[in-house]
Amino acid sequence: MLNKNVKYFTTGEFAKLCKVNKQTLIYYDQIGLLSPIMKDSKDYRYYSIAQYDFFSVIELLKTVGMSLKEIQKYMANKSPENFLDLMHQQKELVAKKRQQLEMIESIIEVKIDTTEEALQIDFDSITIGHYPEETLYLSRNIEDSTEEQFVKAVSDFIDELDRSQLDTGYPIGGITKREQVLAGNYDNYCYLYMEQPHPQEGHPYFKAIEGDFIIGYHTGLSTTLGQTYERLFKVMAENGYELGQYAYEEYIYDAVIKNREADYVTRIMMEIVKKGEVAQ
């Protein structure tokens, strides 16, 4: 029997209050999660305002990733102590998700910045300059890898970046030793790398680079990279430089931005020193 001193809501009214459709409330009733506070002789369902907080907690728990079965399990053992335990657990999960979202936001910002920067680049240009220190996270040594070993190394490196939360949004690049570049083995990388603007403590294999570089851009298939290297070597020689210890390659435009591999753009950065100064 309805208490005339208490405001009751029909299923439609309560659904509107909770901003869901009536079928959601009917389903919750069917599975015993949230049942109407009463039903009249005509089987009309009625909810009370006190049940709104109950519904809000259900939706809160769903939002942080709890399944309806998990919520039902708690509801079957409700108590202040169990509720506190549940809230503390969910608070920890929310903190982890916030950290993940902040990391995703940072990656998106890097993608925006690097793409906007790329739009201003003349890909036919070759520049020489002194560049400040950058910290890189390196893969294991992959020099002279077979194709199968290289594929596995890339997969392992991506897994490590993900597991250690070291994916900064910058492109994965490859480092090639001087002797391999001079021999024309441009894709015989010794390491993969990703730039780390904010290095984390406790992670090995960081390599800081600083010094003079010659930078150029290759548009097209990787099989024609040699043509761009030849252009770089020509400019290098004209300015009294020779190759230093390493060359670095990374995509500026890849499959994310271009459909055809022939339109991919690779940035080539080569350490340079004045002739006769190469460290052995």
Same domain for 73 and 150?
Answer: no
CATH number at residue 247: 3.20.80.10
Q: How confident is the model at residue 183 (pLDDT cuts 50, 70, 90)?
A: very high
Dig out the tokens for 184 from the structure: 């024309």
pLDDT digits (tens, 9 = 90+) for 217-247: 999 998 899 999 999 999 999 999 999 999 9
In a domain, 13, yes or no: yes
12 versus 2: the higher-pLDDT residue is 12
In a domain, 114, yes or no: no
In a domain, 95, yes or no: no
Same domain for 16 and 127?
Answer: no
Contact 128, 213 (CB under 8 A): yes
Same domain for 180 and 237?
Answer: yes
Report how far residue 174's alpha carbon sits from residue 252's, in angstroms, rounded to the nearest whole number: 13
Per-residue DSSP letters for 1-50? ---TTS-EEEHHHHHHHHTS-HHHHHHHHHTTSS--SEE-TT--EEEETH
Q: Which domain holds residue 27?
A: 8-78
Same domain for 125 and 226?
Answer: yes
- Dihedral-angle region of residue 19 (phi above 0 means left; psi in -120 to 50 means alpha; beta otherwise): left
Contact 82, 47 (CB under 8 A): no
In a domain, 97, yes or no: no
Same domain for 163 and 222?
Answer: yes
Amino acid 169: pLDDT: 92
State how many domains the chain has. Answer: 2
pLDDT digits (tens, 9 = 90+) for 255-278: 888 889 899 999 999 999 998 765
pLDDT digits (tens, 9 = 90+) for 55-110: 998 998 898 888 999 998 888 888 899 889 988 998 998 898 898 899 999 999 99
Amino acid 204: pLDDT: 65
Eight-class DSSP state of 220 = S
Half-sphere exposure (Cβ direction) of 231: Cα atoms closer than 13 Å:
16
Same domain for 126 and 64?
Answer: no
In a domain, 85, yes or no: no
CATH number at residue 71: 1.10.1660.10
Same domain for 72 and 125?
Answer: no
